[in-house]
Amino acid sequence: MKKLRFLLEKEFKQIFRDKSIVAMIFVLPIMQLGILPIAMDFEVKQVNIVIIDNDHSPLSSKLINKIGASGYFKLLAYEPSFRQGLEYLKSSEADIVLEIPNSFEKNLIKENAAKVNLTVDAINGTKSSMGSSYLTSVIADFNNNIQIFQNKNIVQPVIINIENSTWFNPYANYSWFIVPGILAFLLTIFAGSISATNIVREKEMGTIEQINVSPIKKWQFLLGKLIPFWVMGMIILTIGLLVGIIFYKIRPIGSIPMMYALSGIYLIALLGFGLFIATISNNQLQAMFISFFFIMIFALMSGLFTSIESMPEWARIISHSLPITYFIKALRMIILKGSSFADIQYIFVILIGYAIGLNGLAILNYRKTT
């Protein structure tokens, strides 16, 4: 026990002496959490549209007015031909080109149907699908109204009203979704990368030899490395929660002790993961590359930005084998929904499993001799 205390003292001193590391550990997360979520917004607010009206009829201008008045669309330009309209798509200034053909009004009155052409820049998936579905619904709405413009005697149409309400986040604030996720992610990159490079550094500098020849046991050495990082991780979590409360007004509604317990277990798991990487790499560049590889997978496949259910089957399996997936899910549930222990106890079990498994793997793989 005494040995461990000295080791801890050594590690803490070593970490806090390097001012640039300390700054990076504390400032980077605060800055990233404080700034980035403001920039992260999926919502399609404005779709830029270019209109080519070949008909110039009262009805076509009514349709154009209706689109302009809907609020979703910015009428970027009117162009005389499709070729000129296409230039806007090429340069990415516009998202949709709407072409109203000749004799649009005539066809509508004579044949009860007329076509309009939408050309959508489909490269940006969200924008193109949202934009075209907004536009189709504006046109559908317009369809209901033309009967009235034309003063036709029609049977009163049936109407199904849809009332919707968003729970747990009534204003559908995107930052509520992203802030707990980013917090979980920052803890992950901290724990996953710092413990990996720290031990490899001792390998690379040769100072690990001194520890290997000392009577310190494997577990004492690893514990001596883990505890300081664990403490720092919990501090980062606290700072992150405060940033959430102060900057984004996200007050956790669930139990805070439970959240800390869960995060503590998660940190142990991730630190074990970092240790394991350290045991399989020879230098810091390698260690960082390996942890970068996994952290990228964590970032993009954990449901941090995009939803897991939409992924193909095999990708969902990968996603469900990552500890971070469960951690992000649980954090969101506790902070935003106030889920109870019963709701997330399976996540506790899974994360404890990861903590034991990953640390066990690291200890088994760590050799005092080279």
Partner 1 sequence: MKQFLAFITKEFYHVFRDKKTLLILFGIPLMQITLFGFALTSEVKNADIIVIDNAKDDDSEKLINKLRASTYFTIYEKQIGYNAIEKEFKKGQIKAAIIIPPKFNNDLIKGKKSQIQILTDGTEPNVAKMLVQYITAITMDYQREINATNSPMMMIIPEIRMLYNEEGNGSINFVPGVMALVLMIVCTALTSVAVVREKELGTMEALLVSPFKPIGVLLAKALPYLVLSFVNLNFILLLAVFVMKVPMQGSILLFFFFSMIFIATSLSMGLLISNITDSQQVALLLSMIGMMLPTIVFSGFIFPLENMPKFFQWFSYIVPARWYYTGVKSIMLKGLDIHYIWKEMVALSMMGTFFLTIAISKFKIRLA
Binding to partner 1 in span 114-173, by CB under 8 A = 114-130, 132-133, 135-137, 139-140, 142-143, 146-147, 150, 152, 154-170, 172-173
Dihedral sign, Cα of residue 143, residue 148, residue 150, residue 151? positive
Tell me if 69 contacts partner 1 by CB under 8 A. no
Window 237 to 296, contacts with partner 1 (CB under 8 A):
281-286, 288-290, 292-293, 295-296
According to the binding rule CB under 8 A, does residue 21 interact with partner 1?
A: yes
Given a contact cutoff of 8 angstroms between Cβ atoms, the answer to whether 366 and 203 are in contact is no
Distance CA 35, CA 56 (A): 48
Instruction: State the Cα–Cα distance between residues 271 and 281, nearest whole angstrom.
Output: 16
Q: Minimum CB separation from partner 1 for residue 111, in Å?
A: 9
Euclidean distance between CA atoms 343 and 346, whole angstroms = 8
The answer to whether 325 and 184 have CB atoms below 8 angstroms apart is no
218 binds partner 1 (CB under 8 A): no
**Measured from the CB atom, is 65 or 282 closer to partner 1?**
282
CB of 1 to partner 1, least distance (A): 29
**Contact set for partner 1, span 190-209 (CB under 8 A):** 190, 193-194, 197-198, 201, 204-205
DSSP secondary structure string, 34-74?
HHHHHH-------EEEEEEESS--HHHHHHHHHHHHTSSEE
Pick one of 51, 64, 182, 351: the residue that binds partner 1 (CB under 8 A). 182
Q: Does 15 bind partner 1 (CB under 8 A)?
A: no
Of the ranges 6-14, 42-50, 220-228, 357-365, which one interacts with partner 1 (CB under 8 A)? 42-50
How is residue 152 annotated by DSSP?
A: -
Residue pair 195/271 in contact by the 8 Å Cβ criterion: yes
Chain residues 292-321 in contact with partner 1, contact rule CB under 8 A? 292-293, 295-297, 299-301, 305-307, 309-312, 315, 318-319
Beta carbon of residue 2, minimum distance to partner 1 (angstroms, whole number)? 29
| Interface residue with partner 1, options 17, 83, 90, 367 (CB under 8 A) | 90
Contact range with partner 1 by CB under 8 A, out of 181-189, 214-222, 270-278, 353-361: 181-189
Q: Which of 335, 306, 332, 330 is nearest to 319 (CA)?
A: 306
- Between 1 and 39, CB nearer to partner 1: 39
- 270/336 with CB nearer partner 1: 336
Strand, helix or coil for residue 33: helix
Contact 215, 140 (CB under 8 A): no
Question: Which pair of structure tokens corresponds to residue 343?
Answer: 């709701």
With CB under 8 A as the contact rule, the residue among 65, 92, 207, 210 that binds partner 1 is: 92
For the bound state, the minimum distance from the C-beta of residue 340 to partner 1, rounded and expressed in Å, comes to 7
* Total of residues contacting partner 1 (CB under 8 A): 124
Secondary structure (3-state) at 7: helix
Amino acid at position 270, single letter: L
CB of 362 to partner 1, least distance (A): 19
